[in-house]
């Protein structure tokens, strides 16, 4: 089997925002979808891991896109494993538009955990490394996300439509709550050109989460999610394009 997975996706009309462009959380969902299909076809998908009480946990992602697909348009996500370490695996992605032009990349870092102990599993010798592929992924790795003193605060409670099959806030819903701190004006004529996220703690159904939006500059923000114990559950670094893209 080829080391690179490919998923072709058509943007449904209800998956776009007020600008008619695919929303960032739904792009994230498609990365997760492509990863799942790629892993399952090679014997290390979540369903297969679950049989041995293991699961994948997304730890970090860095995503860059210079063009977002619009309603009705097709795009392709390619994904491959860059490397396997003791406790982390590196999975990269490329996004291609309908003409086959690369419009973006993503780098993600995953841990495998035991579902009972929630502790990381040693990834070496599980046979994942034989699918390793050396393809260029010309975007920077996730960096350390800075914390700023000043912030604007909002809150949300984790609800029915936020949670996955484990009753935790699902990975793309973190992203939805993060992009929802930005106004329509912020998105007018600007795209998110780089997005970094660090998942730190699980959020459970019913928890009240505080979202702190910190402005680095007009087009660069840090968004931090905290739970009721004031633990940081997620950090993200959001870069908008500087000039009008319309």
DSSP secondary structure of 191-245 = -EEEEEEEE-S--BTT-EEEEEEEEEETTEEEEEEE-TT--EEEEEEEEE-SS--
The residue from 103, 163, 193, 200 that contacts its own copies (CB under 8 A) is 163
Residue 190: CB minimum distance to its own copies, A: 12
* 32 belongs to the binding site for its own copies (CB under 8 A): yes
Q: Does 101 bind its own copies (CB under 8 A)?
A: no
Our CB check for its own copies shows the closer of 32 and 139 to be 32
Residue 134: Cβ-neighbour burial (10 angstroms; 0-12, 13-18, 19+):
exposed
User: Of 99-107, 162-170, 217-225, 233-241, which segment contacts its own copies by CB under 8 A?
Assistant: 162-170
Per CB under 8 A, 246 contacts its own copies? no
Contact 11, 71 (CB under 8 A): yes
Answer for which of 6, 33, 67, 210 binds its own copies (CB under 8 A) is: 33
Q: What are phi and psi of 68, to 5 degrees?
A: -100, 135
Show contacts with its own copies in window 171-230 (CB under 8 A).
172, 176, 179-180, 182-184, 187, 205
DSSP 3-state percent helix, strand, coil across the chain (nearest 5) = 20, 40, 40
79 binds its own copies (CB under 8 A): no
> Between 119 and 160, whose beta carbon lies closer to its own copies?
160
User: Residue 4: left if φ>0, alpha if ψ -120 to 50, beta else—which one?
Assistant: beta
* Out of 5, 25, 69, 104, the residue judged to bind its own copies by CB under 8 A: 25
* Of 186, 192, 174, nearest in space to 235 by CA: 174
Quick one: which segment of 18-26, 59-67, 105-113, 127-135 binds its own copies (CB under 8 A)? 18-26
Helix residue ranges, H only, the chain: 24-41, 46-50, 171-179, 184-187
Q: Which stretch binds its own copies (CB under 8 A): 20-28, 61-69, 122-130, 210-218?
A: 20-28
Q: Does 159 bind its own copies (CB under 8 A)?
A: yes
Comparing CB distances to its own copies, the nearer of 17 and 201 is 17
- Phi-psi label, residue 25: left if phi above 0, alpha if psi -120 to 50, beta otherwise: alpha
Sign of CA dihedral 23, 26, 28, 30: negative
14 belongs to the binding site for its own copies (CB under 8 A): yes
The interface region with its own copies, picked from 143-151, 154-162, 191-199, 231-239 by CB under 8 A, is 154-162
CB 118 within 8 A of CB 108: no
Which positions touch its own copies (CB under 8 A)? 12-14, 16-20, 23, 25, 29, 32-33, 36, 159-161, 163-167, 170, 172, 176, 179-180, 182-184, 187, 205
């Amino acid at each position: 089997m080829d080391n690179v997975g490919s998923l072709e996706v058509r943007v449904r009309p209800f998956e776009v925002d007020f600008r008619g462009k695919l929303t960032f959380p739904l792009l994230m969902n498609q990365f997760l979808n492509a990863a799942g299909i790629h892993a399952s076809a090679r014997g290390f998908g979540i369903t297969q891991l679950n049989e041995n009480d293991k699961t994948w946990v997304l730890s970090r992602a860095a995503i860059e896109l210079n063009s977002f697909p619009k309603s009705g348009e097709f795009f392709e996500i390619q994904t491959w494993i860059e490397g396997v370490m003791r406790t982390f695996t590196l999975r990269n992605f490329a996004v291609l538009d309908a003409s086959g032009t690369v419009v973006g990349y993503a780098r993600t870092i995953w841990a495998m955990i035991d579902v009972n102990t929630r502790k990381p599993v040693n990834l070496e010798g599980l046979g994942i490394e034989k699918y390793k592929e050396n393809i260029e992924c010309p975007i920077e790795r996730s960096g350390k996300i800075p914390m700023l003193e000043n912030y604007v605060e909002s809150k949300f409670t984790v609800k029915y439509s936020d949670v996955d099959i484990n009753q935790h806030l699902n990975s793309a819903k973190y992203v939805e709550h993060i992009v929802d701190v930005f106004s329509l004006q912020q998105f007018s004529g600007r795209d998110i050109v780089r997005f970094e996220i660090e998942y730190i703690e699980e959020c459970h159904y019913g928890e009240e989460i505080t979202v702190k939006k910190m402005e680095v500059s007009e087009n660069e923000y840090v968004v931090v999610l905290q739970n009721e114990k004031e633990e940081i559950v997620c950090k993200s670094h959001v870069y908008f394009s500087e000039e009008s893209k319309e």
